[in-house]
A = this chain, B = another copy of it.
């Protein structure tokens, strides 16, 4: 089904008469439009209000089947905004996206009678991927997998964390990715216990552990891969730890099933880590799609249920400050 139609059905169930959608990711998801603007769903039609940079392109690409009317912000009079929701009482907005200032502005601008939070309505639709979306994510994952194979060949003593990050970016854009799904993390040696965001000039040395966290984007859809690799020989203690985390991950993976409770899975991982005096310092996993972090969250504080056609990560980790990797 057309995604806007599916949204309209959900709005009807919630007795919401209209909706203002500003989040460009949600707009792309619903319409395929990649332009800055506002999507208006009212009792009669679907409007997309945008500016001079996009309007010509939209008028050429939108067809009657899209059921979207593109309007230029420059030609709209004040009164035309009032008319958009004149037959609507409850108008939904994206309380998790629009700012407090935008909220006060839209209520005034559209003369909204009853602005209502929608509790991530569109984000919830996005949790369940359709077959096209899954194909795009698989393609993003393939590019990311190939990049990993390339990068473990590329890593050697003498190059820096930054060199590795640049090579990852180059590989992804040269091999069909739109670009990076998120800023690459390359954390080596003493940096590997503090997986911070910016690759440094630190030079890779023999015996280093390196945490790689990266992913490609394909047709707007993200991949997310985390791997710990070692340069040369490692101690038995380190190997045992690596194998332990891998085992924990594998056991968790077997629990990723339709109707499984996310909290239960994360708690079982946390308990396995507790037994060895470790802790789960971040979520076990999260949904992936048009954004790198989507619902559901798999954590000991979350309350989601896994459903068929969700796409989620499984990334337990142990971080030991200054203990093992030097």
Q: Is the interface of A mostly helix, strand, loop or mixed?
A: mixed
Check if B96 sits within 8 Å of A98, measured CB to CB: no
Interchain CB contact under 8 A, A54 and B196: yes
- Complex: chain B residue closest to A195, CB-CB: B53
Number of copies of this chain that the complex holds: 2
Q: How far is the CB of A56 from chain B (nearest CB, A)?
A: 5
Say yes or no: A99 contacts B99, CB within 8 Å. yes
B residues less than 8 Å from A174 (CB atoms): 166
- Give bound CA distance, A198 to B169, whole Å: 18
CA distance A95 to B101 in the complex (A): 5
Does A194 lie at the interface of the complex (its beta carbon under 8 Å from any beta carbon of B)? yes
A157 within 8 A of B: no
Q: Check A281–B100 contact: CB distance below 8 A.
A: no
The digit string for A84-125, where 1 denotes a CB below 8 A from any CB of B, is 000000000101111111111000000000000100000000
Report the minimum CB–CB distance from A98 to chain B (whole Å): 6
Bound state CA distance, A51 and B319, in angstroms?
Answer: 13
Question: 18 A-B residue contacts at CB 8 Å?
Answer: A34-B196, A34-B198, A51-B281, A52-B282, A53-B194, A53-B195, A53-B196, A53-B282, A54-B194, A56-B194, A56-B321, A74-B281, A95-B100, A97-B99, A100-B102, A100-B117, A170-B173, A179-B183
Interface residues of A (CB under 8 A from B): 34-35, 51-54, 56-57, 74, 93, 95-104, 117, 166, 169-170, 173-174, 179, 183, 193-198, 281-282, 319, 321
What are the 8 tightest A-B residue pairs by CB atom distance, in nearest-first order? A52-B281, A95-B101, A95-B100, A57-B194, A100-B103, A96-B101, A56-B194, A166-B173
